[in-house]
Structure 1
Amino acid sequence: MRTFEIHEARRHLSRLVQEAVDGDPFVITRDGRPLVEVVSINTPELAGARRTGFMAGEIAVPPDFDRMGSTEIESLFDADP
């Protein structure tokens, strides 16, 4: 496994983190002694998670949903200041 002194790792942190994410972990050292190992965290892919429709059948949308409150809204525009 590759090792980097802490000062060198600080200068190249963005690149090193991306390499760890891509599967190339590394160790950060201070004065030649290992401090931490940087590895990618395996997170589940969100592509498989589906949120759309998770409440199907739980709520009902009235047929006049797009016209609800239209009379009140129109009266606000017609009112004189």
Structure 2
Amino acid sequence: MKVESSPDTSPKTVNVHDAKTHLSKLVLEASQGHPFIIAKAGKPMVKVVAIDHEPKPRLGMLKGSFVVPDDIDTPFQSDIEAMFGS
């Protein structure tokens, strides 16, 4: 497998043919934090990187940031009653 890599921390570059031939090994390396670039005719086409953990649900993320007063609807009580027929 022909691999081009620079001495710095740049990801290695693999041509399309070699990427197809060694895909399982390359994907394993990428999942372990070693991304790589697939090139066609020497031109970089895509970068393969590991997917980070799924984001946590954001429900309740502002809990404790502010207080909602018990009488929040009081200024709009007549409007609310008109809308909902109370």
- Structure-2-length-normalised TM-score: 0.50
Give unmatched runs, 5+ long, in structure 2.
Answer: 1-10, 55-86
Instruction: Flag the structure with more relative contact order, 1 or 2, with Cα contacts below 8 A and sequence separation at least 6.
Output: 1
Identity of matched residues, %: 45
CA distance in 1, matches of 2:14, 2:37: 6
1:10 aligns with 2:20: yes
The letter for the 2-side match of 1:10 is: K
Q: RMSD of the TM alignment (CA)? A: 1.7
Moved over 4 A (4+): none
CA distance in 2, matches of 1:17, 1:43: 16
The letter for the 2-side match of 1:42 is: D
What is the Cα deviation at residue 36 of structure 1? 0.3
> Higher helix fraction: Structure 1 or Structure 2?
1
What is the Cα deviation at residue 15 of structure 1? 0.4
1:2-48 CA-partner distances (Å, limit 9, x unpaired): 0000000000000000000000000000000001000000014xxxx
Partner secondary structure for residue 39 of structure 2: strand
The residue number in structure 1 matching 2:31 is: 21
The letter for the 1-side match of 2:44 is: P
Partner secondary structure for residue 8 of structure 1: helix
Aligned counterpart in structure 2 of residue 40 of structure 1, from 46, 50, 58: 50
The letter for the 1-side match of 2:38 is: I
